[in-house]
Amino acid sequence: MLNDLTDLRLDWQILMNSSMVYSMSQAILKTVRQYTAIFELDEERGGYTVTIPALPGCISEGDTFELALKNIEEAASLYLEVLKEKQEELPAAERFIIAPIQITA
């Protein structure tokens, strides 16, 4: 009986590995691009306005930072989708970091 269980376990592992390879071969590969989003707090009305300098005209907003982030991610995704449909080149992913600095004046 032990051999039957071992054989069954090995058959299950082979089946799992086969289905994982099959699933992976069916996957659609996508490139992840990183862009810098600039969040501006609107102190008068509240909420945030967000732009992505590398994607001219890509702008969104949200009542909270989290909502503004979600909205700009969606806007950027749609922006890139339109560029793909038009067969235009996608802007290169940015390779810089923005950090605050303090200057004594």
Both 23 and 35 in a single domain? no
Both 11 and 21 in a single domain? yes
Both 37 and 64 in a single domain? yes
In the chain, the number of structural domains is 2
Both 1 and 51 in a single domain? no
Residue 25 is part of which domain span? 1-29
Each residue's pLDDT, cut to its tens digit, for the chain (105 residues) gives 445 444 445 444 444 444 444 455 566 677 788 899 999 999 999 999 999 999 999 999 999 999 999 999 999 999 999 999 999 999 887 777 778 889 998
Give the long-range contacts of residues 89-96, CB within 8 A, separation 24 or more. Answer: 90/33, 91/33, 91/35, 91/54, 91/55, 92/54, 93/33, 93/34, 93/35, 94/34, 94/35, 94/36, 94/54, 96/36
Asked if the structure places residue 74 within a domain, the reply is yes
Both 25 and 39 in a single domain? no
Q: Is the pTM of this model over 0.85?
A: no
Report the pLDDT value the prediction gives residue 2, as an integer from 0 to 100: 47
Both 2 and 42 in a single domain? no
The CATH number assigned to the domain holding 73 equals 3.30.160.250
Both 22 and 47 in a single domain? no
